Amino acid sequence: MTAIEARGLTYSYGGDPVLSGVDLTVSSGEFVALVGVNGCGKSTLLRMFAGLLRPTTGTVLLDGVPLTGFSRREVARRVAVLHQTLPPVPGLTVRQLVRQGRYPTRGALGMLWEPDAGHHADQALDLTGVAHLADRVLDTLSGGERQRVRLALAVAQRAPVLLLDELTAHLDIRHQLEVLGLVRELRATRGLTVVAVLHEIDHAARFAERVVALHGGRVHADGSPGRVITPELLAEVFGVAGRVVVDELHGTPRCLPDHPLAPGPAHGARAPAPTE
């Protein structure tokens, strides 16, 4: 069953094209990682899936229905988005913020009359391992704690589709692994569909079952990590020469980048000219 479908999406910022005819289908229950260089349109595509940006041309469908046919609240019942930062609200506690996860689907009055709003928030805090932080003020949290709270906010929304925009940005390696492992666990236990923008290709290979690489405004490669992540992808999409090996523990690809490639017209990069 299809959860999200993009048909011929194009988008430009100030006249500069970012996406050019993107076609992509995400099935219910999939964990899809979007990869590519900065500015390739990953976050733009994610925002279109959430209805936060309208494509210049093309259509986004949720559950087979054009996104334009839903109200903002109806979209929120189906799609939860983790933006790159938490809102700066001085004095707000973790529990107060996570309870706001019910706002997109219920509205202000609906939250007042929803008897389970507090229960949903507490459940989200438990699921993401931040219940012990419930009474802490957001400004006092570490980076890893804040990312978990962001995830709890989205979980409280109780939408079947979860869109993650650089969840691991600015985190050390321990906290990167923790939050991605948590997402994978939530996806398995709650049957979520996950689409995540990730910068680390190795993380995409290890945690997602499908990798979509964007390049030149289009889908350059799409498939399982073992099929998509190759030395050719490193060169053509990321502009680096490198090797790809199989992780002996996890059985997933790992990238060993060697050196940057000079720009070239054919595939976006070429090997540096040999020197004497």
* Angstrom distance (rounded) from CA 113 to CA 50: 26
Report pLDDT for 271: 46
* Angstrom distance (rounded) from CA 112 to CA 114: 6
Give span(s): CATH 3.40.50.300, the chain.
Answer: 2-229
pTM, entire model: 0.89
| DSSP annotation string for 176-210 | HHHHHHHHHHHHHHHT-EEEEE-S-HHHHHHH-SE
Q: Is the pLDDT of residue 117 over 80?
A: no
Q: Is the pLDDT of residue 276 over 50?
A: no
Report pLDDT for 15: 82
Report pLDDT for 87: 63
- Reported as a single tens digit per residue, the pLDDT across 127-176 is 999 999 999 999 899 888 988 998 999 899 999 999 999 888 888 999 99
Q: Quick count: other Cβ atoms within 10 Å of Cβ 173?
A: 10
Q: CA nearest 84: which of 30, 131, 42, 21?
A: 42
Per-residue confidence at 186, pLDDT binned at 50, 70, 90? very high
Report pLDDT for 106: 58
Q: Is the pLDDT of residue 270 over 90?
A: no
| CATH of the domain spanning 2-229 | 3.40.50.300
Angle subtended by helix axes 143-157 and 117-127, to nearest 10: 140
β 65-66/79-82 pair status: unpaired
Extract the tokens encoding 90.
């001085």
